[in-house]
């Protein structure tokens, strides 16, 4: 029992990452950032902790405490600031102090907006918004690291801390940037090892939804968001379920629960369903555009959205990104509240088997879009921006579950300690192997028993152990055991006596030949 009954445990929703997963994460991040870098994005990092007000609240899940954000009061007292950044004073002219609320970042986009706005905050020439003012500068950066979300209801396989890997362009209104973002996502996913055809980048435009609401006559934003939430259930509850929930409501046949309706007139509900169904099974960006054109071209927002998607299509086509990589899908919504134009997500089309035995499509691994309003909140100046985020842990899970090659992750060579008084010799053996670039450790455990050391080697996936006792030291040799080959042979030789006699996976070599022998085993040769 620990001190005063402390139980060693992780916080619920958090986890430790083992060496195989750590390595996979590392590899994915390296491959994807190399693609980001090649597109001219540069690595900027921001703190894990920010002022809560500077981040804002944009998470989809607003039912939870603090709207899904881990936040707390700064232990430090600081001045209260007014909107011009000046300290607020009380009637006695004393600076008013407070503990500001801090928040752990819930994504990497809100901190980017803070960083960008902070730099411009000092520039009166930009903030004053005269016709002669310079435009907000172009800024392109990538960033990766952990983000934190307090999701009250935690689905299996979901965590409250997870890694994101973002790239963003701030300062451009041109949807050429959005088209490029689709190329970046596609290139990055392929660089991490996803085969072409196993994933697709799906593009939509929030303005199409806006056009739909203009057409249907929904002006209220909350109502609009409710409608999108109902649309999102189309796959689950079908057209009649959607129709019912848009209008008078329905009884859920599974749970028997009453689902209230949104009270739309039946004509409006039909238009919504027609929009959802218009592109079902339609292949090719051109064809999707044609369907949407006939439905939304006469609404102001729909027109804008269609023009943006046409431009994106033309640029993608010009760069050779066809329907096998980037598709248009008017059902894509993306949860975050800050998107204003094109939105995109990348999904894996591969199927995975659940622990329950059920087989399902793996689903979304990246998301992004245009958020022209996020910086405005902080700067009072509209600054266009667009970007996307790879869910590193989701992608790692996908690769671990669908690619066998990744399993190979060897541990170091282990130098067995037979005689603790010879520690200096064992350390020199290890140093010699390391000098040849071979990861090697000495056994530092408590007892010099062979069995404990072999168990350790096994647990740590060691490919080779080096053994030297009085015998070997006297002859200036070492014994080298090939554990990989040993495992193979263990299946072939059933008789224990024969095994011990032959020791087929162990050789004794001159000390001078040690490095070469180990190297040859690691390269796949036999001992």
| Residues within window 170-199 making contact with its own copies, judged by CB under 8 A | 171-174, 176-177, 179-180, 183
Q: Which residues pair with 87 in a beta bridge?
A: 81
Q: Which of 123, 223, 310, 377 binds its own copies (CB under 8 A)?
A: 377
Q: Quick one: which segment of 191-199, 288-296, 429-437, 473-481 binds its own copies (CB under 8 A)?
A: 429-437
What is the end-to-end Cα distance of the chain in Å, rounded? 47
* Residue 393 CB coordination number (10 Å): 23
158 is an interface residue for its own copies by CB under 8 A:
no
In angstroms, the CA 369 to CA 367 distance is 7
Which token pair is 47? 């703190």
- Contact code string over 443-462 relative to its own copies, x by CB under 8 A: xxxxx----x---x---x--
Q: How far apart are CA 110 and CA 338, in angstroms?
A: 10
Q: Could you tell me how far CA 333 lies from the centroid of its own chain?
A: 18
Verify binding: residue 131, its own copies, rule CB under 8 A. no
Q: Establish if 84 lies at the interface with its own copies (CB under 8 A).
A: yes
Q: Are 207 and 305 in contact (CB under 8 A)?
A: yes
Task: For residue 247, give the nearest of 229, 227, 232, 224 by alpha carbon.
Answer: 227
Q: Which of residues 391-420 bind its own copies (CB under 8 A)?
A: 411-414, 420
Closer to its own copies by Cβ: residue 402 or 427 = 427
Of the listed pieces 90-98, 110-118, 231-239, 510-518, which binds its own copies according to CB under 8 A? 110-118
**Near its own copies by CB under 8 A: residue from 228, 350, 352, 439:** 439
Number of residues that bind its own copies (CB under 8 A): 118
Q: Nearest distance from residue 349's CB to its own copies, in Å? A: 25
CB of 391 to its own copies, least distance (A): 16
259-298 residues in contact with its own copies (CB under 8 A) are none
Which of 290, 431, 490, 510 binds its own copies (CB under 8 A)? It is: 431
Stretch that binds its own copies, among 223-231, 332-340, 373-381, 490-498 (CB under 8 A): 373-381
- CA 285, 286, 291, 296 torsion-angle sign: positive
Task: List C-alpha distances in Å: 33 to 42, 127, 146, 328, 389.
Answer: 9, 33, 16, 26, 12
Length of the chain: 527
Residue 55: φ, ψ to 5°: -75, -40
Q: Is 490 in the site for its own copies (CB under 8 A)?
A: no
Q: Rounded CA gap, 314 and 329, in Å?
A: 16
Q: Which of 427, 454, 493, 511 binds its own copies (CB under 8 A)?
A: 427
Q: Which is nearer to its own copies, 295 or 394 (CB)?
A: 394
The least CB distance from residue 339 to its own copies, in Å, is: 18
- Cβ–Cβ under 8 Å, residues 392 and 25: yes
96 binds its own copies (CB under 8 A): no
Pick one of 27, 57, 97, 121: the residue that binds its own copies (CB under 8 A).
Answer: 121
**Contact between residue 504 and residue 510 where contact means Cβ atoms under 8 Å apart:** no
Which residue in 310, 398, 345 sits closest to 232, CA to CA?
A: 345
Nearer to its own copies, 17 or 490 (CB): 17
| Token code pair at residue 342 | 């094109």
307: number of Cβ within 10 Å: 14
**String marking each residue 19-58 x if it binds its own copies according to CB under 8 A:** x--xx--x----------xxxxxxxxxxxxxxx-xx----
Pairing label, strands 440-442, 413-415: parallel
Residue selected from 358, 405, 407, 424 as contacting its own copies according to rule CB under 8 A: 424
| Segment interacting with its own copies, rule: CB under 8 A, options 114-122, 212-220, 469-477, 516-524 | 114-122
Contact flag: residue 241 with its own copies (CB under 8 A): no
Residue 476's DSSP bridge partners are none
Counting Cα atoms < 13 Å in the Cβ hemisphere of 322 gives 4
Q: Of 521, 497, 519, 432, which Cα lies nearest the Cα of 468?
A: 432
- Comparing CB distances to its own copies, the nearer of 56 and 504 is 56
- Told to check if 114 binds its own copies by CB under 8 A, we report yes
Task: Please identify, among the stretches 10-18, 259-267, 282-290, 295-303, the one whose residues bind its own copies according to the rule CB under 8 A.
Answer: 10-18
What's the min distance (Å) between Cβ of 19 and its own copies?
Answer: 4
Which residue, 76 or 492, has its beta carbon nearer to its own copies?
76
């Amino acid at each position: 029992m620990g001190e005063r009954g402390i139980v060693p445990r992780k916080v619920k929703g958090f986890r430790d990452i083992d060496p195989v997963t750590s390595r996979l994460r590392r590899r994915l991040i390296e491959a994807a950032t190399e693609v980001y870098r090649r597109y001219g994005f540069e690595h900027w990092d921001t703190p894990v902790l920010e002022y809560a007000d500077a981040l804002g609240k944009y998470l989809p899940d607003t039912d939870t405490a603090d709207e899904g954000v881990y936040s707390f009061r700064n232990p430090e007292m600081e001045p209260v600031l007014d909107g011009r950044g000046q300290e607020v004073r009380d009637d006695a002219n004393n600076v008013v102090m407070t503990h500001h609320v801090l928040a752990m970042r819930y994504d990497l986009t809100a901190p980017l907006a803070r960083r960008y706005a902070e730099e411009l905050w000092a520039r009166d020439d930009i903030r004053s918004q005269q016709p002669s003012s310079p435009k907000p500068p172009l800024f392109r950066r990538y960033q990766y690291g952990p983000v934190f979300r307090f999701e009250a209801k935690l689905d299996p396989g979901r965590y409250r801390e997870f890694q994101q890997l973002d790239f963003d362009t701030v300062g451009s209104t041109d949807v050429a940037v959005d088209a490029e973002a689709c190329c970046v996502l596609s290139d990055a996913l392929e660089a991490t090892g996803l085969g072409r055809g196993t994933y697709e980048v799906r593009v939509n435009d929030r303005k199409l939804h806006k056009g739909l609401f203009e057409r249907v006559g929904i002006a209220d934003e909350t109502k609009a968001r409710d409608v999108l939430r109902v649309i999102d259930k189309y796959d689950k509850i079908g057209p009649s379920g959607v129709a019912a929930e848009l209008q008078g409501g329905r009884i859920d046949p599974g749970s028997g629960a009453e689902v209230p309706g949104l009270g739309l007139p039946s004509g409006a509900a039909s238009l919504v369903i027609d929009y959802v169904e218009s592109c079902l099974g339609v292949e090719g960006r051109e064809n999707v555009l044609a369907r949407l054109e006939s439905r939304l071209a006469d609404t102001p927002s729909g027109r804008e959205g269609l023009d943006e998607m046409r431009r994106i299509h033309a640029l993608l086509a010009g760069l050779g990104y066809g329907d096998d990589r980037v598709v248009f899908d008017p059902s894509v919504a993306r949860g975050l509240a800050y998107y204003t134009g094109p939105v995109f997500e990348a999904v894996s089309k591969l199927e995975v088997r659940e622990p329950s035995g059920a087989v399902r499509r793996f689903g979304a691994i990246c998301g992004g879009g245009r958020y022209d309003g996020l910086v405005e909140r902080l700067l009072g100046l509209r600054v266009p921006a667009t970007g996307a985020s790879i869910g590193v842990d989701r992608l790692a899970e996908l690769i671990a579950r669908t690619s066998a090659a990744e399993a190979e992750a060897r541990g170091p060579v282990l130098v067995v300690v037979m005689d603790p008084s010879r520690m200096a010799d064992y350390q020199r053996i290890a140093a010699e192997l390391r000098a040849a670039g071979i990861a090697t450790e000495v056994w530092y455990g408590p007892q010099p028993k062979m069995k404990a050391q072999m168990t350790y080697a096994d647990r740590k996936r060691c490919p080779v152990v080096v053994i030297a006792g009085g015998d070997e030291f006297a002859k200036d040799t070492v014994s080298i055991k090939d554990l990989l080959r040993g495992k193979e042979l263990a299946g072939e030789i059933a008789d224990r006596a024969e095994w011990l006699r032959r020791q087929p996976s162990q050789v004794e070599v001159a000390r001078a030949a040690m490095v070469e022998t180990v190297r040859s085993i690691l390269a796949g040769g036999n001992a």
